[in-house]
Amino acid sequence: MKLCTFNIWNSNTDFNSRMNLLSKLIKENEIDILALQEVRDESIVKKLADNCGYKFYNFSNYTNYGLAILSKFPIRDIKTNFESASVHNSLVQRCIVSINDFEVGVTNVHLDYASEENRLLGLDEALDLIENNTNIFEVLLGDFNVDSESNIHFELRMDEFVDIYQSYCFKRNIFPEPTLDFNNPRWKNEEINQTPGRFDWIFVHTSNDYKIVHSELIGKDETNGITPSDHYGVVAEIKLP
């Protein structure tokens, strides 16, 4: 099972060219389950599905953009936190993916960029959806809008969620690279004083044995001076029990 999370940057800057790069990148990497954030509209999702061979997808729209999950396997029981009184500027989307006789819970998040309190509230809503629909194998992934040194990352690890990319790197004495850095073409003509960070994560929570086959960042290489997004995608290949 090959997973990917990607914030695709809802900006008009080189938009069509970036989406074409994204489509090519996803197809080349043969992603089975793809979680997207900052998705402008359903036409983007449909084009990716058609180009990359996804028979199943859901686009959950909120206001200016939404979340999407695309899968090569059937999906069901789609839920969001959009119906709550306030989403705290933190979007949550969840579904169940059926891989033969094995079920995987997939929860896609895009947490608030400005407020830690809102991020925590959004994470609580994501965890409530997971706990209310517990599967043997749970995946929590997306743009958490906070670095891996944060309280949120620590709390998830304390709850026995495993950061797949971090775990893969640490076992190989590799330092995990940032998913949002300022070498990205977006920032070429801007003076940036912020620190690069690893804001996009893929977590797994399960009592079952599994193997991390491979994990890496994608979308870092420029083509004609652009990349698919201002974020980089995270890919994790996992061997299921």
pLDDT (average), residues 219-223: 95
Closest of 226, 211, 200 to residue 167, by C-alpha: 211
Q: How far is CA 108 from CA 81, 172, 192, 200, in A?
A: 11, 27, 29, 11
Nearest-angstrom CA–CA distance, 70 and 50: 11
Residue 149 has pLDDT above 70, yes or no: yes
Q: Average the pLDDT over each of 21-35, 43-57, 71-85 and give the range with the smallest value.
A: 71-85
Nearest-angstrom CA–CA distance, 192 and 195: 9
Mean pLDDT of the chain: 93
Nearest-angstrom CA–CA distance, 93 and 91: 7
3-state helix vs strand vs coil in the chain, percent to 5: 25, 35, 40
pLDDT (average), residues 35-59: 97
Residue 27 has pLDDT above 80, yes or no: yes
Q: pLDDT tens for residues 66-94?
A: 999 999 999 999 999 987 767 788 999 99
- pLDDT in the model for residue 133: 73
Closest of 114, 72, 71 to residue 93, by C-alpha: 71
Residues near 209 by Cβ (< 8 Å), separated by ≥ 6?
241
Residue 199 has pLDDT above 90, yes or no: yes
Residue 95 has pLDDT above 90, yes or no: yes
- pLDDT in the model for residue 23: 98
The answer to whether domain 2-239 has CATH 3.60.10.10 is: yes
- pLDDT in the model for residue 85: 60
Residues facing residue 60 across a β-bridge: 67
Q: Which of 73-77, 136-140, 192-196 has the highest mean pLDDT?
A: 73-77
Q: Average the pLDDT over each of 5-9, 44-48, 60-64, 201-205 and give the range with the smallest value.
A: 60-64
Count Cβ atoms below 10 Å from residue 212 Cβ, excluding itself: 16
Residue 125 has pLDDT above 90, yes or no: yes
Beta strands at 75-80 and 91-99: parallel, antiparallel or unpaired: antiparallel
